[in-house]
């Protein structure tokens, strides 16, 4: 199951590259990237893919094929997912001088690169399954651009579970279902009194309810001041809503993959209830994010990129994905 879940990271990478190729990302306005970093953003992702080919032609082929067959409705979803999380991060950074960002289930995500370059006071910690971060570590060190921009050595001097151990960036191997090990590593690599952003992007949906709740409570209790940003699908709670059951069936048949809590936390309200009532929780589905949080000038830019005739399909999909922000 661990390896099957890890394969979903290639889906996310291919979707990100497709959205970049079509011009949806980066959004210089909302991700606040100066021109040089906007170019770097595109370069980082493309070079990550090219270097992936050196270590796994099979993974490269999967990503490349999926990237080339991406539809506008998928590019919109990737845009909303990426920008929604980034805007939440940037808003928290505006309000706090020194911040650490902990990306749980980081996969191949390269969000740490622009953050480290734009904000000298930020520290980033990436955590995921050992196989995922071992591959990520190899790619970051093999590719000259990625290696230089992260100030890494070509050979890994660091040993598992901490594969990159810098003052401002750490890459850590850990099964997040092992709550004791997770909290022990976070105790070692982060500070409880520094304002902390926790990112769980399509992570909790693949965990069983007990482990996911233990992770939420254990990690959020570690930090005196924090923001938990979570992006996940929800199954849908209306009587005739079959989105969740169809999604579960497709995942079982195509990948033998389960989303254990998709139908348990199948509405915004139920999903938000996973966090303590004492926290300030804001939750939106991604259709709401598109229509209320993306400025009209940006929506106009998106419309100019590709002709989108699947508007109803976009609405159905994006009302079944949520962005949750819980601050304490």
How many CB atoms within 10 Å of residue 266? 20
For the chain, 328 residues long, the average pLDDT of each consecutive 10-residue run is 81 96 97 97 98 94 88 97 98 96 98 98 97 96 98 83 97 97 97 98 97 97 98 95 95 94 97 94 98 98 95 97 98
Q: How far is CA 307 from each of CA 22, 180, 300, 311, rounded to the nearest angstrom? A: 12, 49, 12, 10
What pLDDT is stored for residue 4 in this prediction? 81
Residues 195, 100: Cα–Cα separation, whole Å: 7
Query: What domains lie within the chain, and their CATH numbers?
Result: 2-327 (3.40.50.150)
- 201 among annotated binding-site residues: yes
- 81 among annotated binding-site residues: yes
Whether the CB-CB separation of 224 and 238 falls below 8 Å is answered with no
Q: How far is CA 5 from the centre of its chain?
A: 14
- 258 among annotated binding-site residues: no
What pLDDT is stored for residue 158 in this prediction? 65
What pLDDT is stored for residue 22 in this prediction? 96
- 107 among annotated binding-site residues: no
Which long-range contacts does 179-184 make (Cβ < 8 Å, 24+ apart)? 179/211, 179/214, 179/215, 179/218, 182/127, 182/215, 182/218, 182/219, 183/218, 183/219, 183/222
Secondary structure element (H or E) that encloses residue 253, with its range: helix 243-255
How far is it between the farthest Cα atoms of the chain? 56
Using alpha carbons, select from 75, 318, 317, 109 the residue that is nearest to residue 201: 109
């Amino acid at each position: 199951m661990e390896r099957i879940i890890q394969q979903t990271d290639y889906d996310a990478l291919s979707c990100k590259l497709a959205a970049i190729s079509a011009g949806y990302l980066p959004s210089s306005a909302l991700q606040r990237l100066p021109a040089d970093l906007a170019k770097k953003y595109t370069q980082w992702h493309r070079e990550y893919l090219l270097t992936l080919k050196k270590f796994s032609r099979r993974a490269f082929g999967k990503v490349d094929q999926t990237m080339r067959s991406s539809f506008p409705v998928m590019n919109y979803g990737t845009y909303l997912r990426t920008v929604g999380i980034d805007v939440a991060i940037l808003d928290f950074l505006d309000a706090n001088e020194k911040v650490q960002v902990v990306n749980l289930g980081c996969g191949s995500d390269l969000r740490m690169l622009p953050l480290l370059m734009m904000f000298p006071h930020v520290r980033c910690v990436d955590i995921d399954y050992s196989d995922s971060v071992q591959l990520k570590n190899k790619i970051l060190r093999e590719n000259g651009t990625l290696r230089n921009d992260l100030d890494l050595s070509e050979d890994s001097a660091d040993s598992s579970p901490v594969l990159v151990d810098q003052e401002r960036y750490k890459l850590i191997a850990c099964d997040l279902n092992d709550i004791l090990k997770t909290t022990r590593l976070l105790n070692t690599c982060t500070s409880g009194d520094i304002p902390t952003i926790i990112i769980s992007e399509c992570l909790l949906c693949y965990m069983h309810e007990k482990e996911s709740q233990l992770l939420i409570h254990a990690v959020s209790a570690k930090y005196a001041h924090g923001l938990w940003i979570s992006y996940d699908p929800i199954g849908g709670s209306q009587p005739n809503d079959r989105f969740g059951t169809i999604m579960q069936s497709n995942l079982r048949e195509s990948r033998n993959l389960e989303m254990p809590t998709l139908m348990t936390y199948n509405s915004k309200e139920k999903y938000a209830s996973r966090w303590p009532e004492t926290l300030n929780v804001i939750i939106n589905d991604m259709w709401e994010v598109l229509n209320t949080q993306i400025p009209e000038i940006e929506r106009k830019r998106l419309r100019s990129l590709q002709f989108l005739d699947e508007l109803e399909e976009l609405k159905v999909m994006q009302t079944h994905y949520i962005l949750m922000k819980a601050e304490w």
